[in-house]
Amino acid sequence: MTEFSFTPDAEQARIGDRKMRQGLADSLAYVVEEIDGAIAFDRSSIETNIARMRDGARFAPSAFGHYYLAVQAIADENFAHVSYHLDAIGRQQPLSDEMEIVELSEAALGKDAEIYTTLLGAEDSSSLRFLAPPKPVAEQFASRFRNGMALLDRAAPTLAEEVRVLVSQMVMAVGDKSFAYEFDGASVYSLWGALFLNAESHVTPLAMAEAIAHEAGHSLLFGMSVDEPLVRNPDDALYPSPLRVDLRPMDGIYHATFVSSRMHWAMQTLIDSGQLDDEQRVAAAEARDGDTRNFWAGYKTVAEFGDLTLTGRSIMTAAHAYMASVAA
């Protein structure tokens, strides 16, 4: 990979976005060729959308989700599900360039809402569950999200631009309070372009800006890991995490560590912008200091136990250089 830019860079994000979308087109074309004649599906429609993807059209995150579930269905020899997921991709229309703000509900997303909840809950469905927010909660959150983006536009415009490249859908959800964990936000590789936030949280523009920086940082890493993973550590090898009480795979710790440095950058940039009032500056400084602690705790684990690829090392080296520079 070319040298990684730690500070927000819309062109760097566009490269990752293009790689993700071109990769989806190439993978779909391969699957279509391999299963044609063996499994019934609308080949013409999906090839039309493959051509659109290759021409640069952006499709909803569910296009990625349907692809991953179709591949799993092929492995499971569940051919009816293969047909369903491929035909769903074939029926999709390209998105506009504007980021959508939608709720995690069938009313907003149709049957694709089930795809989102399935892939969101794939890691730990026993302790976390995602639900649609009540309408008043969703309306209030959408307004808060726009205010958070407006703050980034004024105070950290390069980050706001990067977010708009990486995120095609901002999806509102709430957690099921009867489950063990709540969630603040989520990003999933298999739902590229989606940013999930808890519609009951992030009640101030500053808190919203911080949450956006957090999840967009995860998305940036997904886009940077198309050609190779960030770490080689096996998923079943667990290590202490700076953000969780339970042990976590190295990939998750790597993500949390990098994202902590990006959130530090976002909070410091907002403080330096002159766009915050006194109360907001205090809150931003507290958040920044927490990000500092989280980064160094995570970096200790990554440095000691991480088996990093060239891409992973380049990105973490840039994050470390930034955090070392602000500590000096």
pLDDT at 280 over 50: yes
Measure the CA–CA gap between 17 and 193, rounded to whole angstroms: 8
pLDDT tens digit sequence for 212-229: 999 999 999 999 999 999
Read off the pLDDT band of 129 (50, 70, 90).
Answer: confident
Q: Domains of the chain: which residue ranges?
A: 228-328
pLDDT above 70 covers a percentage of the chain that reads 95
For 180-244, the DSSP string reads S---SEE--GGGTTEEEEETTS--SHHHHHHHHHHHHHHHHHHHHTSSS-SB-S-TT-EE--SS-
Residue whose tokens read 């009540």: 134
